[in-house]
Chains A and B, each alone.
Chain A
Amino acid sequence: MTAFTWDNFLQLTVNGWVHGTAYALLGVAFGLILGVTGRFHFAFTFTYAISAYLAATASTDWGIPFWPSLIIGAAFGAACGMVMEAFVYRPLALRAGAYALLTIFVASLGLAIIGTNSIALYWINEASLQISGFDNRGINIGPVTLATLDRDFMIVTWALIFLLAAVLRFTALGRVIRAVRVNPEMSLVIGVNPLSIYLVVFAIGGFLGGVAAVFDATKTAATPDMGFNPLFYAFTVAFLSGLSLRPLLVLAIGLGLGLIESWANLVLAPQWTQLVVFGILFVYVALRPVHLQALLNKVLAPVRHRQRAMAG
């Protein structure tokens, strides 16, 4: 547990802001895929890890600088997502009809297991891979320390999220994505092929996840199972934002979650803080807004009844 001082509080706030930015990026990426395509893309955990591994290979083995390596890694993650959509999810969705959600979830679970263990088999002699080429230093801003990697990560992430928000809001592509999300069958009638849009969405989601993965691995290291925890955060943020196609809302929720998790250090031991996030997810799912509203209506019913009676 961290003692409460203003300096500590500010540092925790900055830490929470950085973590929250990462959660937001994951939430945007996963929420976009699930929200538009309806595919419960569990193999996101694999595309996340493979992005980091490819970036590590590019930067360390091939000697490519950090930023191009990041783009290579993220692009490969996007490509993997597109391949899964084209060759596994799409055929399954066409066959499974109303049962597609569960069928695709199970297949995606299988892809995640194959992918992460294949990484482990391929790099069986290395427990983890490092990404090189980034000069990570601490910057002191008053009482707060911020790493350059975190600073750059926030700049890149915020820029990507704002860019995606602008694309979805103002461009023809964005309108088509929103249309497909609302009614894929009807979009066919107006000449939009939803399956092509699904591929685009998998590409965008995979790329955003890949960016998060490369920064994550640069901070620590790339490991085969590095995608599991981020995936759970992605679930949490995406569902808390109601699978919204408003990236700025997702950003706000991600930041909120990051701050709550970070501030929890003031009252809880560090090992408990992750439980706070998943506790929030559990309670949210158990008492979704619709149930909360029903509960509220039940509690307020006598009050409203009295008010109506008095008004009458």
Chain B
Amino acid sequence: MQLQINYVDLILIYVIFAVSLNLLMGFTGQVSVAHGAFGAIGGYTLAYVFLNHHWQTFAGMGLGVVFAAIAGIVVGIPALRLTTEWLILLTLAFQIIVVSLVQTLTQLGGTYGLQNVTPLNVFGHKLLQPTDLLPLFAVLAAIVIFICWRMGESPYGRVLRGIREDELACRSLGKNVFAYKLTVFGVTCAMAGLAGALLVITNEIASPALFSFDLSTTIVAMVIFGGMGNLVGSILGATILVLLGPFFENVLSFNAQKAALWRLVAYGLVLVVVMLVRPQGILPEGAAPIRWVRARMAERRHEKLSPELELAELRGGALVDVAPLVDEETAPPPVPHVGALVDAPLHDDTLLEDAEERETPASTEPVVQVYGLTKRFGGITAAYDLSMQLNKGTITALVGPNGAGKTTVYNLLTGAIRPDSGKVLLKGEDITAMRPDQVALRGMVRSFQDVRVFNRLSVLQNVMLAVPDQPGERVLQLFGRWVHSTRVERQVRERAMQWLDFVGMSALAPFPAGALAFGQQKLVALARVLATESDVVLLDEPSSGIDEQWVDVMLGLIEKLRPQGRTVCIVEHNLHVVGRLADHVYFMELGRITAEGSFEDLTSEQRLAEAYFGTA
């Protein structure tokens, strides 16, 4: 009996490892092959203070968790700017360093490790047997699952998924990506530290072999097998892979050495086969077994399913599962009829109410002022001594040949790159040195020429991510003001649906944005920008890459922003678009503004007409 319970204890420990790594890897997109190393920090800390300073086990465990969290943040700081291959390398190096270090330090027992870490003492009761440890481990695992679930399946988790999909797009919507990533690194590594401490308690030893690279790969295998971005999948993955050991040992009657090797071979096979056959794991992101059971029960009761559930059913339970984790049985999303979109109401009563509240006639009141902005990349001057102004309630166009530096201007205005000199004022405030998220929070957002929708998030989630002031996106409010954040979440959903109605895309709300046509993605991106409710909207080639009918839809929507008192700037090559929309036009060549005025002024200039407009 104790043997079986010991396996349950082990499963609970690996559940903590796997669930926490999934939050980091599956939700946030930060690949780590060093989760075992963070476990080592927690486990060794507990063993060291327990053996050398006679600390209470819980105190040692707490210190281990804190140390692992600190280590996670330290590793997380350089990881903030790394692409996947570099992140793999960084965490790999960290794993090797930690194991080499504990192997080298004589204070930590060298190769033999720290032994006799026993037994766990809880309020005077010694927990000697696996059955004694089970309730404690179950409670700790439940707490970890709860925290990960709350962080992952909430507005906070939506931001994490957004970061995974596209960091820059996330920052441009006002999300402090650095803070999110560091928090998740810290929290998940702390959890790994806790699991490491529990592993030491179970084995009564902290040794390099216990926290070797094999441990880290095993945890990765559990996450991948279970399904990235699905916490239930991680619980299943951990359970199944831990049970492989006793399966080989007891069912197939292998000796312990052989069983251990076969178990590892099975881990490897799981990784390869899962990648080849079902890369999304046994439970893909968005698949919820409980919801599936409820849907089946509802079906039996002949109840009508909600549209979202029906779609989830269509997709085999995965709402947000797209290539390469694409389910081949998935039906393609219905493409809305363009005529229907054009005829669709391009406004919403609530949104118009807001518009009326802040409606102001086109004015000369400057909202954005730019003075002497210069940016050089090596020997190339991308922007030189640019000065411009965007006025409230007007649409300004930035035109010029390819390579003139128009998109660079957007990057400079929104903080994506820092200027070498010059100043940008937003509503009188100097925002020159601010990050993109700080600029967005102050009321200036941008769209991207290449759209940058969050592919694996649904259309609705894409827009919900942009709605400002969500308490559920802040970790303290997420846990401290649960009811409030849940209530606000409902409002956010309604608000996002209104913006999708506004651009005529509400019918596609539950579909993954990556599955839409390019023109549809552009409309989603527009809804996302508008949902930020920012005063200043910078649109990068809103009509490029979409056919004429979609262009008309897009222009109609942009025109509706002017009476709302929003300040709009567009970078555009399509002169028909510029002529229809722009109140004021800046003409750029080789990083300089060489002309400005109304569209008619510029097209009547012979030099520009010959060189660019082609209308001479």
Chain A interface residues toward B at CB < 8 A: 34, 40, 88, 91-92, 95-107, 109-115, 117-118, 120-121, 124, 228, 232, 235-236, 239, 271-272, 274-275, 278-279, 281-282, 285-288, 291
Partner-contacting stretch, out of B261-269, B347-355, B442-450: B261-269
Closest Cβ neighbor of B270 among chain A residues: A110
Report, nearest first, the 8 A-B pairs whose CB atoms are least far apart: A110-B271, A113-B268, A286-B78, A114-B268, A110-B272, A96-B324, A107-B275, A110-B268
B-side contacts of A114, CB under 8 Å: 265, 268-269, 272
Bound Cα distance A266, B36 (Å): 32
B363: Cβ under 8 A from any A Cβ: no
| Cβ A106 vs Cβ B93 within 8 A | no
| Cβ B272 vs Cβ A107 within 8 A | yes
| Cβ B257 vs Cβ A101 within 8 A | no
A-side contacts of B323, CB under 8 Å: 97
| Cβ B265 vs Cβ A118 within 8 A | yes
| Cβ A285 vs Cβ B104 within 8 A | no
A114-B268, A235-B89 known; 15 new pairs, CB 8 Å cut-off, are A40-B85, A88-B272, A91-B276, A96-B279, A107-B272, A109-B217, A110-B267, A110-B268, A110-B271, A117-B264, A274-B100, A278-B96, A281-B93, A285-B78, A286-B77
Bound Cα distance A107, B267 (Å): 11
- Contact A101:B85 (CB < 8 A) given known A109-B220, A278-B93: yes
B-side contacts of A235, CB under 8 Å: 89, 92-93
A-B contact pairs, 24 of them (CB 8 A): A40-B85, A40-B88, A100-B324, A101-B84, A103-B324, A106-B224, A109-B220, A109-B268, A110-B268, A110-B269, A113-B271, A114-B268, A115-B268, A121-B265, A228-B213, A235-B92, A274-B100, A275-B104, A278-B96, A282-B94, A282-B97, A285-B78, A285-B89, A287-B78
B-side contacts of A34, CB under 8 Å: 85
Bound Cα distance A170, B82 (Å): 35
CB distance from B463 to the nearest CB of A (A): 23
Closest Cβ neighbor of B89 among chain A residues: A285
Q: What does the 1/0 interface line of B57-94 toward A look like (CB < 8 Å)?
A: 00000000000000000000110011011101110111
Residue in A124, A236, A286 with the greatest tally of chain B CB atoms within 10 Å? A286
CB distance from A33 to the nearest CB of B (A): 13
A-side contacts of B78, CB under 8 Å: 285-287
Which listed residue (B89, B90, B96, B271) contacts A107, Cβ 8 A? B271
B-side contacts of A96, CB under 8 Å: 279, 324
- Contact A278:B97 (CB < 8 A) given known A103-B279, A117-B265: yes
| Cβ A92 vs Cβ B93 within 8 A | no
- Contact A275:B97 (CB < 8 A) given known A92-B275, A107-B271, A285-B82: yes
B358: Cβ under 8 A from any A Cβ: no
CB distance from A109 to the nearest CB of B (A): 6
Which listed residue (B90, B100, B269) contacts A286, Cβ 8 A? B90
Residue in A99, A106, A107, A271 with the greatest tally of chain B CB atoms within 10 Å? A106
Closest Cβ neighbor of B269 among chain A residues: A114
B-side contacts of A40, CB under 8 Å: 85, 88
Closest Cβ neighbor of A301 among chain B residues: B420
Bound Cα distance A239, B81 (Å): 16
B-side contacts of A275, CB under 8 Å: 97, 100-101, 104
Chain B interface residues toward A at CB < 8 A: 31, 33, 77-78, 81-82, 84-86, 88-90, 92-94, 96-97, 100-101, 103-104, 213, 217, 220-221, 224, 257-258, 261-262, 264-265, 267-272, 275-276, 279, 323-325
- Contact A124:B258 (CB < 8 A) given known A88-B276, A103-B279, A285-B93: yes
| Cβ A117 vs Cβ B261 within 8 A | yes
| Cβ A121 vs Cβ B271 within 8 A | no
Closest Cβ neighbor of B264 among chain A residues: A117
A-side contacts of B261, CB under 8 Å: 117, 120-121, 124
A-side contacts of B104, CB under 8 Å: 271-272, 275
CB distance from B282 to the nearest CB of A (A): 15
Bound Cα distance A198, B131 (Å): 54
Closest Cβ neighbor of A231 among chain B residues: B92
Residue in A97, A107, A121 with the greatest tally of chain B CB atoms within 10 Å? A107
Closest Cβ neighbor of A104 among chain B residues: B275
| Cβ A95 vs Cβ B279 within 8 A | yes
Closest Cβ neighbor of B213 among chain A residues: A228
Which listed residue (A91, A113, A118, A281) contacts B217, Cβ 8 A? A113
A-side contacts of B262, CB under 8 Å: 117, 121
Which listed residue (B81, B97, B264) contacts A291, Cβ 8 A? B81
Bound Cα distance A288, B90 (Å): 11
A-side contacts of B269, CB under 8 Å: 110, 114
| Cβ B258 vs Cβ A92 within 8 A | no
B-side contacts of A92, CB under 8 Å: 275-276
- Contact A97:B324 (CB < 8 A) given known A117-B264, A281-B93, A282-B90: yes
Closest Cβ neighbor of A270 among chain B residues: B104
| Cβ B84 vs Cβ A102 within 8 A | yes
B-side contacts of A278, CB under 8 Å: 93, 96-97, 100
B-side contacts of A113, CB under 8 Å: 217, 264-265, 267-268, 271
Bound Cα distance A120, B78 (Å): 37
- Contact A109:B94 (CB < 8 A) given known A117-B265, A288-B86: no
A-side contacts of B84, CB under 8 Å: 101-102
A-side contacts of B324, CB under 8 Å: 95-100, 103
CB distance from A113 to the nearest CB of B (A): 3
Which listed residue (B31, B93, B213, B258) contacts A102, Cβ 8 A? B31
A-side contacts of B89, CB under 8 Å: 235, 239, 281, 285
Bound Cα distance A107, B324 (Å): 15
Bound Cα distance A40, B220 (Å): 16
Closest Cβ neighbor of A235 among chain B residues: B89
Closest Cβ neighbor of B420 among chain A residues: A301
Closest Cβ neighbor of A122 among chain B residues: B261
CB distance from B411 to the nearest CB of A (A): 16
| Cβ A232 vs Cβ B264 within 8 A | no
CB distance from B447 to the nearest CB of A (A): 21
- Contact A110:B221 (CB < 8 A) given known A91-B276, A124-B258: yes
- Contact A109:B96 (CB < 8 A) given known A96-B324, A121-B261, A275-B101: no
B-side contacts of A111, CB under 8 Å: 268, 272
Bound Cα distance A104, B84 (Å): 12
Closest Cβ neighbor of A107 among chain B residues: B275
Bound Cα distance A33, B92 (Å): 19
Closest Cβ neighbor of A84 among chain B residues: B272
Bound Cα distance A112, B270 (Å): 12
CB distance from B448 to the nearest CB of A (A): 17
CB distance from B304 to the nearest CB of A (A): 36
Closest Cβ neighbor of B79 among chain A residues: A286
CB distance from B542 to the nearest CB of A (A): 25
